[in-house]
């Protein structure tokens, strides 16, 4: 059975080639990718290449990006686990949604699903996240979900010729287990891809 995580209104699953058109529509809005080193998408070749790249990263156990699918409205965005250290049982989460899904509660449910994956299914101890200090919406959203602001990493990313600072946030296993995110019901199909579980 194919791997998928189901919540009350959203499903997370690996993106497939047939999802390219939906990703093009979602990420062709400049506001969506404003804080990223990529985008906005301008042609179908870009999401096609991304989906193919994802499959390789998933097979190599490097990076696990998942398509967020709304039960009625279809594909909504991407959330994923990256910078995995299995030795230290930690990873980072990054998320983007199409503009129509902002402020709808979809971000909260997607974070509940990805946190369940990280802590419950993969045995992580710590889940981190970054935000650009100027991206107040993302910063507020992470704080509202129970992540702690732990500091600012200076010149952490390079976007073209510009160096970009990031806020770093984290939530630990016990904090997640005691918080609201762990209360969201999650149903699993299949098993997470091999190579992502902490020992
Ligand atoms: C970041 C993102 C995933 C957050 O999801 P969301 O559904 O928009 O977030 P929410 O509506 O749940 O929360 C946003 C918070 O910011 C606040 N907010 C909204 N607009 C804001 C603004 N212009 N400035 C500051 N805060 C703002 C909201 O009031 C809310 O805070 P509250 O919970 O204290 O009321 C989504 O906006 C997105 O995909 N953005 C584009 C990609 C991106 O920036 N990803 C993050 C990369 S680090």
Alpha helices in 31-152 (DSSP H): 45-59, 106-115, 136-144
Q: Is 50 in the pocket of ligand 1 (CB under 6 A)?
A: no
Mean pLDDT, the chain, rounded, equals: 97
Strands 90-97 and 126-131: parallel
The CA distance from 199 to 179, in Å, is 24
pLDDT confidence of residue 46: 98
pLDDT digits (tens, 9 = 90+) for 73-126: 999 999 999 999 999 999 999 999 999 999 999 999 999 999 999 999 999 999
The CA distance from 42 to 73, in Å, is 22
Q: Where are the domains of the chain?
A: 4-186
Q: Ligand 1, residue 132: give the atom nearest the CA.
A: 48
The CA distance from 157 to 164, in Å, is 5
Indicate the pTM of the whole model. 0.96
CB 62 within 8 A of CB 80: no
pLDDT band at residue 41 using 50, 70 and 90 as cut-offs: very high
pLDDT confidence of residue 1: 85
Q: Is 30 in the pocket of ligand 1 (CB under 6 A)?
A: no
pLDDT band at residue 159 using 50, 70 and 90 as cut-offs: confident
CATH topology of domain 4-186: Aminopeptidase (3.40.630)
Q: Which of 138, 164, 180 to mutate to test the pocket of ligand 1 (most atoms within 8 A of CB)?
A: 138
pLDDT digits (tens, 9 = 90+) for 65-83: 999 999 999 999 999 999 9
Q: Is 169 in the pocket of ligand 1 (CB under 6 A)?
A: no
pLDDT-above-70 percentage for the chain: 100
């Amino acid at each position: 059975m194919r791997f998928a995580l189901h919540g009350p209104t959203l499903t997370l699953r690996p993106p497939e080639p047939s999802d390219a058109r939906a990703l093009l529509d979602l990420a062709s809005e400049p506001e969506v990718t404003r804080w990223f080193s990529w985008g906005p998408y301008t042609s179908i070749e870009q999401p096609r290449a991304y989906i193919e790249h994802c499959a390789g990263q998933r097979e190599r156990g490097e990076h696990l990006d998942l398509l967020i699918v709304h039960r009625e409205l279809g594909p909504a965005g991407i959330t994923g686990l990256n910078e995995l250290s299995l030795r230290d049982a930690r990873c980072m989460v990054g998320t983007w949604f199409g503009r129509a899904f902002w402020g709808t509660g979809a971000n909260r449910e997607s974070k509940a699903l990805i946190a369940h994956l990280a802590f419950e299914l993969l045995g992580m101890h710590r889940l981190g996240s970054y935000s650009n200090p100027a991206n107040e919406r993302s910063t507020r959203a992470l704080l509202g979900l129970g992540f702690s602001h732990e500091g600012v990493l200076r010149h952490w990313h390079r976007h073209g010729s510009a160096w970009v600072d990031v806020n770093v946030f984290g939530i630990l296993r016990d904090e997640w287990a005691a918080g609201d995110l762990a209360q969201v019901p999650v149903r699993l199909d299949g098993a997470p891809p091999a190579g992502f579980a902490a020992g």
